């Protein structure tokens, strides 16, 4: 069984502290608004801690030799090749000229809109707004488009948003990786759909493996 993290233990202690203070006020018959100038330290701390992923963000070890000796020795061309996104993707994933990953998602709505509510009903069997997100190989969001109803196909969202700006956003020959919901084109390379990705197409299945 995995152990409880320091952050979770700290949140548990803060929650007990907050509840304890409220019980004490109830026992003493104190109004919550009696001390308007007093800062509720436990509640503020609890809000801050729960809003962050780490109590102390772990440091990612970096190669001092690479940063201190190799990078300064590179000429301009090699330096750009080493630090730009397509070079990293080619080195780590094997896709030449790829600049990012494309996918669609659904921002769910709590209630069905009163006007044209059927248009918001999505393939996930709930109402929502369709969103398109592009990230780089470091999972950093580089582009986002939100606004189409949930019933809109992801490819339709792409064609009516980013696809219209490809010439401004991409250098010639660059493309995005996308799942099978998208159509392969000069701008996107999608994974194979069945039956093309089935056991009868070993190369396609192998491609999908590296693609994913």
The answer on 39 and 101 residing in a single domain is no
Q: Which of 39, 55, 43 is nearest to 16 (CA)?
A: 43
Q: Does 200 reside within a domain? A: yes
Question: Given pLDDT bands bounded at 50, 70 and 90, which one contains residue 196?
Answer: low
C-alpha dihedral sign at 17, 23, 24, 30? positive
Residues 135 and 198 in one domain: yes
Burial class (CB in 10 A: 0-12, 13-18, 19+), 150: buried
Mean local confidence (pLDDT), 169-190: 88
Domain match, 100 and 177 both: yes
Same domain, 98 and 190: yes
Does 91 fall in a domain? yes
Q: 141 in a domain, yes or no?
A: yes
User: Number of structural domains, the chain?
Assistant: 2
- C-alpha 138/C-alpha 136 separation (Å) is 5
Q: What pLDDT, in 10s, does the model give residues 99-157?
A: 889 999 888 888 888 888 888 888 888 899 999 999 888 888 888 899 899 888 899 99
Residue 1 has pLDDT above 50, yes or no: no
Q: Do the domain assignments include residue 86?
A: yes
Does residue 106 form part of some domain?
A: yes
pLDDT, tens digit, 9 for 90 and up, residues 56-101: 655 555 555 555 655 566 666 655 555 567 777 777 778 888 888 9
Model-level pTM? 0.54
Q: Are residues 27 and 109 in the same domain?
A: no
How far CA 56 is from CA of 41, 43, 52, 53, 61, in Å, comes to 20, 20, 10, 9, 15
pLDDT band, very low/low/confident/very high, at 31 (cuts 50, 70, 90) = low
Q: Is residue 60 part of a domain?
A: no
**Domain containing residue 14:** 6-50
């Amino acid at each position: 069984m995995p152990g409880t993290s320091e952050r979770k233990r700290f949140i548990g202690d803060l929650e007990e502290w907050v509840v304890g203070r409220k019980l004490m006020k109830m026992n003493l018959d104190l109004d919550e608004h009696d001390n308007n100038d007093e800062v509720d330290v436990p509640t503020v701390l609890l809000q801050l801690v729960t809003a962050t992923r780490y109590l102390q963000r772990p440091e990612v070890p970096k190669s001092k030799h690479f940063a201190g000796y190799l990078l300064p020795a590179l000429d301009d061309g090699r330096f750009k090749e080493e630090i730009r996104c397509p070079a990293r993707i080619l080195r780590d994933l094997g896709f030449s000229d790829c600049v990012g990953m494309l996918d669609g998602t659904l921002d769910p709505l709590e209630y069905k809109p009163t006007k044209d509510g059927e248009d918001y009903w999505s393939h996930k069997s709930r109402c929502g707004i369709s969103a398109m997100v592009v990230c780089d190989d470091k999972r950093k969001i580089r582009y986002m488009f939100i606004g189409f109803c949930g019933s809109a196909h992801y490819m339709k969202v792409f064609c009516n948003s980013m696809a219209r700006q490809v010439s401004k956003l991409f250098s010639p020959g660059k493309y995005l990786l996308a799942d099978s919901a998208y159509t392969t084109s000069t701008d996107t390379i999608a994974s194979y759909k069945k039956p093309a990705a089935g056991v009868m197409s070993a190369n396609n299945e192998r491609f999908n493996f590296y693609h994913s």
